Amino acid sequence: MAIDLKSLSPKELQALIANAESQMQEAQAKQVQTVREKIDAILKNSGLTLADIYPTRAAGKAKVGKRGGKGSVPPKYRNPANPSETWTGRGRQPLWVAAAVKKRGVSLDSLLIGGASKASTKATKKTSKKTAKKATRKKARR
């Protein structure tokens, strides 16, 4: 049952591809069902459960590395334009963070969920002190 693909039109080729993809999905679903039935039969005959064979990480038995697995971290930054968008501060910056930091007057500290941090208030105090010193120097020069 060989099909000469070169003699088929583009429409016929598309139909053949669609038919083959649907057949592939059916074959995979059937294979999965068959494997599940075999596994269920083996577990039933042995008196074990799937949890006995593959314990979950929640039990704390399987740790990764010296410090354990990487857990989830609560978000640290929030998008002021869309509060549903948050970032933990780990990994690559989201586009909304990069865009906000490019704007004048917006710093990464201003996007913190808890408001301004101690570091940002210290930085603001330093900046205001420097500005005050410059202003007094200018007045003294005149």
Number of alpha carbons in the 13 Å side-chain half-sphere of residue 50? 6
Residue type, 107: S
pLDDT of residue 125: 59
Q: Could you read off the pLDDT of 39-56 as tens digits, one per residue? A: 999 999 999 888 888 887
Q: What is the mean pLDDT of residues 122-140?
A: 65
- The answer to whether the pTM exceeds 0.85 is no
Number of helices and strands in the chain (H, E): 4, 2
pLDDT of residue 102: 86
Q: What is the mean pLDDT of residues 10-38?
A: 94
pLDDT of residue 60: 53
> Which residues 6+ apart lie within 8 Å of 81 measured at CB?
96
pLDDT of residue 137: 72
Confirm if 63 and 69 have CB atoms less than 8 A apart: yes
Residue type, 128: S
pLDDT of residue 66: 60
Q: Could you read off the pLDDT of 60-112 as tens digits, one per residue? A: 554 555 666 667 889 999 888 888 889 998 889 899 888 888 887 788 888 88
- Residue 94, classified by CB atoms within 10 Å of its CB into exposed (0-12), middle (13-18) or buried (19+), is middle
% of the chain beyond a pLDDT of 70 = 72
